[in-house]
Structure 1
Amino acid sequence: MDRFDTLQAFARVVEAGSFTKAAQTLHMSKTTVTQLVQQLEARLQVRLLHRTTRQVRVTADGAAYYERVVRVLADLEDADTSLASASASPKGRLRVDVPSPFARLILVPALPGFHARHPEIQLDLGASDRMVDVIGDNVDCVLRGGELSDSSLTARRVGELRLGVYAAPAYLARAGTPAHPRDLEDTQHRIVGYLRARSGRIAPIALERDGEQLAPQSRYVVAVDDGNAYLAAGLAGMGILWLPRYMADPHVARGELLPLFEDWKVASMPMYLVFPPNRHVSAKLRVFIEWIDELMALHAPLAGAAAILRAM
C-alpha cells in the first residue's frame, strides 16, 4: 500500500469524523479510504478508530498516532518545498471562505494584486456568512467576524471592524428619525434583523455613551442571514441597521444611508482567520495570511497590539 496515501486518509478521517467527508475532500471513493485505514490498522495490529453507523471516533491509540502522523505529513511537505529553488513561487490550490460583503467590497477587488504576486496559487473562494465546518469541509482557512465559540480551532486576530447605525432616507421619512437608541423600542420603528449563523437569533444593536450601555429590544419586518441581503434590505427602507463602516461609507457618501446616534459608540467587531488544529501552515497559506493582514491594516486595522489570539 502507498504509505503516504494511507497516512493522509487516516488523518482526514480523524479530522472530518467521517469516512464519507474524508473521501470527498481527498477525491477518493469511500471504499478506498476505508480500505486504506483498515490496512493501516492491520499492519499496526491496533484499533485506531471506533466505528458506528452514525459516527467515527478516534481511540486513545489512534489519537496518539494521529499526532505523530500530522507531524510526518508536515515534514514531508517541508521536504518537498525545500527542494524547490528559493525564488520559487508558492503554488497549488488554496481553499478559503470569507463573509460575502467582505468578498464583494474588499477581497475580490484586491485579488488582481494577489494574483500578480502569486500567479501559481489557485484560489477556491467561498463567499458566505454560513458556519463553515473548517475540518469537515477541508477548508484551509476562514475569515469571520465576532468572538469565536469553538476553542478547538486555531485563530489569528487580524482586524477590527468599526460599526455604526444607519437608515435609508425613505425609512426615516416614513417612521421619523430616532433621537435616542431607546426610540428603537417604539412601535413605529423597525430594524433589519441579522440572523446569527450558529444560533439563528437576531444579533442585537449594542451602544455605549458616557458609561451608559443599551441594547434596544427592537421589532423587525425582515431578518436575513447574509450580509449583502442585510444591506439591501436597509437600502430598501425596511428598517434601521448596523453596519461595518466599509459597507456603509459608499452609501453614506451617495446619500443612500444616513448615520444615526453618532454620539454613541458601537463596539467594534473583531475579525479572525481560523485554521484547523494541528494543520501545517503551507507556503501558499502563509502568503495568503500575509496578504489578508495587509488588507485588514488598510480597511479594519487592529486597535491594539494584541493581534494574535493563539500562536500558529
Structure 2
Amino acid sequence: MQDLHALLVFARVAEMASFTRAADSLGIQKGRVSIVVRDLEREMGVALLHRTTRSVQLTEDGRAFYLRARDLLADAQELQSMFSGQAASLRGRLRVDMPTELARSVVIPALPDLLMAHPELELELSSTDRRVDLVQEGFDCVLRLGPIVDETLIARSLGKLRMTNAASPKYLERYGMPRTLDDLRSQRHRMVSYTRTLGARHAGWEYPSGDGYASLPLPASMQVNSVQTYHAAGLAGIGLIQAGYSALAHHIESGALMEILPDLRPEPLAASLVVAHRRNLSQRVRAFMNWIEGVLEPYFD
C-alpha cells in the first residue's frame, strides 16, 4: 500500500457499519469510499466486508484485518506526533460526546480559548444524555458521569463533581428554609423527581449517612426525565432539587436559586473520560483530556 489512507477509510467503514456515515465523517464522497475499500480487498485477496442493502458487517477475515489496521493507524499517528511538544498546535478531527447540561454550562463557555489556541483542530461535539456507542458512532472519547459499566472500555477518572441541594426563593417563601432533615418533613417540603424513565420509582431525597448515603422519602411535586427540565422546575419554584453544582453555580450566584442543607449534599458524581481502546490515546485525545480536566477542576468535590 502506498499510504495509510485506505486503512483509515476501511477502519471508519468498519466502525460505523456504513459507507455513507464513513464518507460523511471523512468528508469525502460515498463512491470514493466504496472504490477505496474495493481496491483494498482486491489487494489483500479477501472479502473484508459483507454488504447488504441494509447493513455493512465485517467478515471473519475483515475482523482480524480491522484489529491489526486499527493498531497500525494508532501507531502511525503516535509516530507522527512523538516529537511534538504539548504546546504544539493540534490538528485534525476530534469527535467527543458529553452530557448536555455539562456541555452547555461548563464546556462551551471555555471552548473559545481552546479553539483559538488550536485553529486547525476540527472539533465535533455531541451533547446527549444517552450512552453513545463509541465504536459504532466513531467517537474518539466520551465524558461520562457515574459508574463505568462496560468493562471493555478504557476509562480515565477525572474526579468527583460536587453536588448541591437547591430551591428557588419563591419556593422557600412558601415552605420555609430547611435547616435539618426533620425540617424537610415538618415543613412539608416537596421535591422534583428526576428519572430516566417516566413512571419509575421515586428515589427520594439523598443525604450522607454514616460512611455512605441514604434516601429520605419525600413527596414529589412532579417527575421529569430531562436534566434541563429538572433544573427549570427548580427555578420555577415547583420543588427542591439536587443537581451538579457546575450546572447550578450561576443560578446560585445570581440569586435565582439558593443552596440549602449545605452539610447534607448528595454523593459526588464520578466523572471519567472513556475511549474504546488504549491505542485511541492520540495526541489530540490526550491534550483534550488534560484540557477538560482543568476546566472541570473547580467543580470537583
Please classify the TM superposition score into its range, dividing by the shorter chain length.
0.7 to 0.9
Which residue does the alignment assign to 1:157?
A: 157
Distance 1:189 1:124, change over 3 A: same
Matched to 2:217, the amino acid is: P
- Specify every segment of 5 or more residues in structure 2 that has no aligned partner in the other structure, as ranges: none
Distance 1:16 1:124, change over 3 A: closer
- Specify every segment of 5 or more residues in structure 1 that has no aligned partner in the other structure, as ranges: 302-312
Cα deviation, residue 22, structure 1: 2.2
State the superposition RMSD in angstroms. 3.6
Q: 1 CA distance for matches of 2:48 and 2:293?
A: 39
Cα deviation, residue 235, structure 1: 0.6
On the 8 A contact 2:140/2:280 being kept in 1, the answer is no
Q: Residues 52-104 of structure 1, C-alpha deviation per residue, up to 9 Å, x if partnerless? A: 55444333332221121112222333344468799742223333333333333
On the 8 A contact 1:161/1:244 being kept in 2, the answer is yes
Per the normalisation by structure 2, the TM-score is 0.79
Q: 2 CA distance for matches of 1:34 and 1:148?
A: 36
Q: 2 CA distance for matches of 1:296 and 1:277?
A: 24
Could you say what secondary structure the match of 1:68 adopts?
helix
Cα deviation, residue 160, structure 1: 0.7
Matched to 1:245, the amino acid is: Y
Cα deviation, residue 158, structure 1: 0.8
Matched to 2:159, the amino acid is: G
Which residue does the alignment assign to 1:73?
A: 73
Is 2:220 the counterpart of 1:213? no
Distance 1:241 1:31, change over 3 A: same
On the 8 A contact 2:141/2:273 being kept in 1, the answer is yes
Distance 1:148 1:78, change over 3 A: closer
Cα deviation, residue 236, structure 1: 0.9
Q: 2 CA distance for matches of 1:292 and 1:202?
A: 34
Aligned pairs for 1:253-272 within 5 A: 253-272=253-272
Which residue does the alignment assign to 1:237?
A: 237
Q: 2 CA distance for matches of 1:85 and 1:245?
A: 34
Aligned pairs for 1:131-210 within 5 A: 131-175=131-175, 190-196=190-196, 204=203, 205-210=205-210
On the 8 A contact 2:106/2:247 being kept in 1, the answer is no
Aligned pairs for 1:2-13 within 5 A: 4-13=4-13
Could you say what secondary structure the match of 1:206 adopts?
strand
Q: 2 CA distance for matches of 1:16 and 1:206?
A: 40
Which residue does the alignment assign to 1:47?
A: 47
Q: Residues 275-302 of structure 1, C-alpha deviation per residue, up to 9 Å, x if partnerless? A: 233553222222221111222333216x
Q: Percent identity?
A: 36
Could you say what secondary structure the match of 2:125 adopts?
strand
Which residue does the alignment assign to 1:34?
A: 34
Is 2:91 the counterpart of 1:91? yes
Per the normalisation by structure 1, the TM-score is 0.77
Is 2:298 the counterpart of 1:298? yes
Q: 1 CA distance for matches of 2:267 and 2:56?
A: 41
Q: 2 CA distance for matches of 1:217 and 1:300?
A: 28
Q: 2 CA distance for matches of 1:86 and 1:300?
A: 24
Matched to 2:17, the amino acid is: G
On the 8 A contact 1:181/1:214 being kept in 2, the answer is no
Distance 1:248 1:124, change over 3 A: same
Q: 2 CA distance for matches of 1:146 and 1:86?
A: 29
Q: 2 CA distance for matches of 1:152 and 1:86?
A: 29
On the 8 A contact 1:49/1:57 being kept in 2, the answer is yes
Distance 1:167 1:34, change over 3 A: same
